[in-house]
Amino acid sequence: MSPRERVIRVIRRESFDRIPIYGWVSANLTTQITEAFGSVAAFEDKYEFDYAHLFGGPPTFSPAAVDALRNEKGGVIDPPAALDLPLTNPDDLDAYKEIVVGVKHHKEERERFVYVQTPGIFEALNGLFGIENHLLYLLMYPEELHEVYKRQAEWNRAFANNCIDLGVDMVHVSDDWGAQNALMFSMDIWQSMIFPYHKVTADAVRRRGAFLSLHSDGNVMSVVDGIIELGYHVLHPWQESAGMDLGVFKDRYRSRLTVMGGLDVQTTIGFGRTEFLVKEIERILSMFADGGLLFCTSHFVQDHCTMEELTLAYDTVYRIVRKLGNNS
């Protein structure tokens, strides 16, 4: 079974030979991994990662245009001002070169499943507004934000379609909504301000026959049913350290959704608690030996994680998924 086929079978809730594995390891540890293994690619090959997270494509707004508008507005951009900010061209295919390289390396040469980072709605505009201002704007400028979000959603749809054309298997929408115990905004705001604009991209991706995943940090338990209604196949990370019990997922949602996650960077890896680390990996993998999990870190592994601990984690993962696969 190829790595790509393995991932697809898990998402589709079909029979598979072992739990697929991956990890967000490069952002903070590229130098350390390269010193220890020769390259991040060599690390990924050693542990036979089954899928890959790709980045690239144009930004929604030109950084120069954002800086100019911010200077004009005295440092603060509000939604009415944002409506005058020109969008970049999502069809500028020269900007997708990094994705093309990633598809060739991972999918064509290593038969991995590939997914690409794409903007959401709320998180995508936090850089423009600032997260604290953005939360205020949800109440102060709802009409203008609807227009801002509509523009973002239509741009996102074009971006996603271009990624699918380039051979990406799954569109991964990054949109942090969760605080440690609940959403950062009310359910009513999520339903009226977030849901409709995610649906624009979600519907387009589903029509293309591609897979669709969502990343949100924090506790998003109150909107899981809405995430499923939107048509997401995969949710990353289902954060237990934010009060989201994986046992609840398994009992209530596994028939409709797949989790990408299982290795919590907030509590588990990078803290020198090696016995706890191994036990947590064993617990999660054993829980999902029969499906529902694409094993991955909950976010980027932080730079306080040593190479010894990272290696221990993935030695453990490599060993256990094969043991569970052989016993299934």
User: Contact, 253 vs 228, CB < 8 A?
Assistant: yes
CATH number of the 3-327 domain: 3.20.20.210
The mean predicted confidence, pLDDT, of the chain is: 97
Residue type, 199: K
Query: Could you give the 3-state DSSP secondary structure of residue 303?
Result: coil
Look at residue 326 and tell me whether its pLDDT is greater than 80. no
Other residues' Cβ atoms within 10 Å of the Cβ of residue 63 = 10
Task: Summarize the confidence of residues 269-281 as an average pLDDT.
Answer: 97
Question: For residue 146, which of 217, 194, 211, 205 has the smallest C-alpha distance?
Answer: 194
Contacts of 327 (CB under 8 A, 6+ apart): 289
pTM as predicted: 0.96
Which has the higher per-residue pLDDT, 327 or 270? 270
Question: For residue 268, which of 284, 252, 254, 255 has the smallest C-alpha distance?
Answer: 284
Size of the chain, expressed as the number of residues it contains: 328
Look at residue 161 and tell me whether its pLDDT is greater than 90. yes
Confidence band for 296, pLDDT divided at 50, 70 and 90: very high
Q: What is the percent of the chain where pLDDT is above 90?
A: 99
Cα–Cα dist 93/189, whole Å = 35
pLDDT number for residue 68: 96
Q: What are phi and psi of 44, to 5 degrees?
A: -65, -40
pLDDT number for residue 29: 96
Question: For residue 273, which of 308, 229, 321 has the smallest C-alpha distance?
Answer: 308
Task: Summarize the confidence of residues 173-194 as an average pLDDT.
Answer: 95
pLDDT number for residue 327: 62
pLDDT number for residue 172: 98
Task: Summarize the confidence of residues 98-112 as an average pLDDT.
Answer: 98
pLDDT number for residue 216: 97
Task: Summarize the confidence of residues 143-171 as an average pLDDT.
Answer: 98
At 2, list the tokens.
């190829």
Q: What is the percent of the chain where pLDDT is above 70?
A: 99
User: Contact, 69 vs 93, CB < 8 A?
Assistant: no
User: Contact, 14 vs 119, CB < 8 A?
Assistant: no
| 79-88 pLDDT tens trace | 999 999 999 9
Task: Summarize the confidence of residues 161-168 as an average pLDDT.
Answer: 98
At 299, list the tokens.
């976010």
DSSP letter (8 states) at residue 253: T
Confidence band for 179, pLDDT divided at 50, 70 and 90: very high
What DSSP string describes 164-223?
Answer: HHTT-SEEEEE---B-SSSBSS-HHHIIIIIHHHHHHHHHHHHHTT-EEEEE--S--GGG
pLDDT number for residue 45: 98
Look at residue 14 and tell me whether its pLDDT is greater than 60. yes
Confidence band for 279, pLDDT divided at 50, 70 and 90: very high
Confidence band for 16, pLDDT divided at 50, 70 and 90: very high
Task: Summarize the confidence of residues 3-23 as an average pLDDT.
Answer: 98
Cα–Cα dist 82/174, whole Å = 21
Q: What are phi and psi of 225, to 5 degrees?
A: -60, -35
DSSP letter (8 states) at residue 21: B
Distance from chain centroid for Cα 116: 8
Cα–Cα dist 152/209, whole Å = 22
pLDDT number for residue 253: 98
User: Contact, 152 vs 125, CB < 8 A?
Assistant: yes
pLDDT number for residue 170: 98
Q: Give domain limits for the chain.
A: 3-327
pLDDT number for residue 244: 96
User: Contact, 218 vs 177, CB < 8 A?
Assistant: yes
Look at residue 328 and tell me whether its pLDDT is greater than 60. no
